[in-house]
Structure 1
Amino acid sequence: MLTRIVRMTFQPEKVADFLAIFRDSENKIRNMPGCQHLELWQDADMPNVYCTHSHWNSADDLNNYRRSALFGQVWPTTKALFAAPPLAFSVYPAGPDSTSTPRPTS
């Protein structure tokens, strides 16, 4: 399983626009092949900062979503509302209780 976190800082006056976009698309994203989980988090100290937290069966499933028509609609309209560049990263479970195989390091 791959976990994807995307941290987004919005123009304060554009937060309501973002929330409308997210609410309109969240179930469509959840229904994308390979998406196991999607939720939205709001920063505890900065109310115009949000993170999406999603779980995908594989990196291929995430990349297929990122190449989809849905992403092509959602991301450009969301990106137009940013006050700063987003921070996105993908992670796999690690540690002794992890069911994933360790990834090679360079």
Structure 2
Amino acid sequence: MIVIHVVVSIKPEYQAEFVSQEQKFMAAAQQMAGCRSFSLYKDVHQENTFAIYETWETSADFENYQQSDLFSQYRQSIGPMLMGEPTSNYYNAAPLTN
């Protein structure tokens, strides 16, 4: 399983629209093969910053999502709302052992 953590900063005037669009796209993405979860969180210290957590069964499932029409529509939809490029981190969800 793979976990993706994305941080986005949104222009203040687009916050409500971003949340609405994000919820719509998250619901659609959760219907895709391999999507285990999709969550949105607002930063408590930085008013315009949001974290998105995604969990996918496999890297291939996530790559299929990134190459989908849905992801392309998502990027076009939120692009004008962004204050800079999102940052992303990718994690193997397997537990670490000593």
* C-alpha distance in 1 between matches for 2:96 and 2:23: 34
Q: Which amino acid aligns with 2:63?
A: N
Structure 1: stretches of 5+ with no match in the other structure: 98-106
- What does residue range 1-106 of structure 1 map to in structure 2 within 5 Å? 1-93=1-93, 94-96=95-97
Structure 2: stretches of 5+ with no match in the other structure: none
* TM superposition score normalised by structure 1: 0.85
Count of paired positions: 97
CA apart distance, 1:23: 2.0
Larger Rg: 1
What percent of counterpart residues are identical?
22
* TM superposition score normalised by structure 2: 0.91
User: How large is the Cα RMSD of the aligned pairs?
Assistant: 1.4
CA deviation profile, 1:8-49 (whole Å, cap 9, x unmatched): 001111111111211222211111111001110111101210
Runs ≥4 residues deviating over 2 A: none
* C-alpha distance in 2 between matches for 1:51 and 1:27: 16
CA deviation profile, 1:53-89 (whole Å, cap 9, x unmatched): 0100111100100111111111121122111211012
